[in-house]
Amino acid sequence: MDVISSISVSTPRPPFTRKDAVRELERHGIHGSHAYLIDVLPLIEMMWADGIVQGVERDLLDKFLHAHIDNLNALVGYNAVHYADGASFVERFLVERPSAEMLEVLRKLILPMRFSSSDVQRNTQQRRAIVRWCLDIGASCVTEYPYGDHDRFSEAEKACFEAIAASLGDD
């Protein structure tokens, strides 16, 4: 069984209700349809884990964002979220490195905001997709060559990945 398959299918009880999560997002300047874009934050957190955002990581984030927005719009049956809005949302977290504390708080809001539906299978698929994209981002770039057998991911990236996987429901 691979790491991704071992992610628990049960949804842990979130520390916030959805209403609390909306208030906390608003406190961080995330309003309206931008609340549905918070799935990108673990990817951004992973991008910053080694201290620099690299071009290949941006490309992966862009692909995730396009697919995510397409999925959101397909679910509601109309263009509720536009890519330009998604790109501006993402850019605010890429221009300057956000604090690790803020990203951790925002990451914890994903469960009550995005994975609280009764569709357990969809919730699990979405969580696994985020974790897989985080793996892809971590593996896409190294900051120093040559690297050893266990150095493709920096220690900071490994710790970040573990925190992300745990907060998204990895028991």
Burial 103-119 (b: 16+ CB within 10 A, else e): beebbbbbbbbbbeeee
Q: Is residue 44 part of a domain?
A: yes
The pLDDT > 70 percentage for the chain reads 83
Q: For residue 6, what pLDDT band results from cuts at 50, 70 and 90?
A: very low
Full domain range(s) for residue 52: 18-167
* pLDDT tens string 155-168: 889 999 999 999 98
Q: Is residue 9 part of a domain?
A: no
Domain count, the chain: 1
pLDDT over threshold 80, residue 16: no
Q: Is residue 10 part of a domain?
A: no
pLDDT at position 149: 52
Residues 6+ apart with CB under 8 A from 163: 104, 107
Mean pLDDT taken over the chain: 85
Q: For residue 15, what pLDDT band results from cuts at 50, 70 and 90?
A: low
Of 19-33, 69-83, 116-130, the one with minimum mean pLDDT is 116-130
Q: For residue 1, what pLDDT band results from cuts at 50, 70 and 90?
A: very low
Q: Is residue 120 part of a domain?
A: yes
Contact 91, 83 (CB under 8 A): no
Q: Is residue 12 part of a domain?
A: no
pTM score over 0.85 = no
Q: Is residue 1 part of a domain?
A: no
Q: For residue 17, what pLDDT band results from cuts at 50, 70 and 90?
A: confident
Q: Is residue 2 part of a domain?
A: no
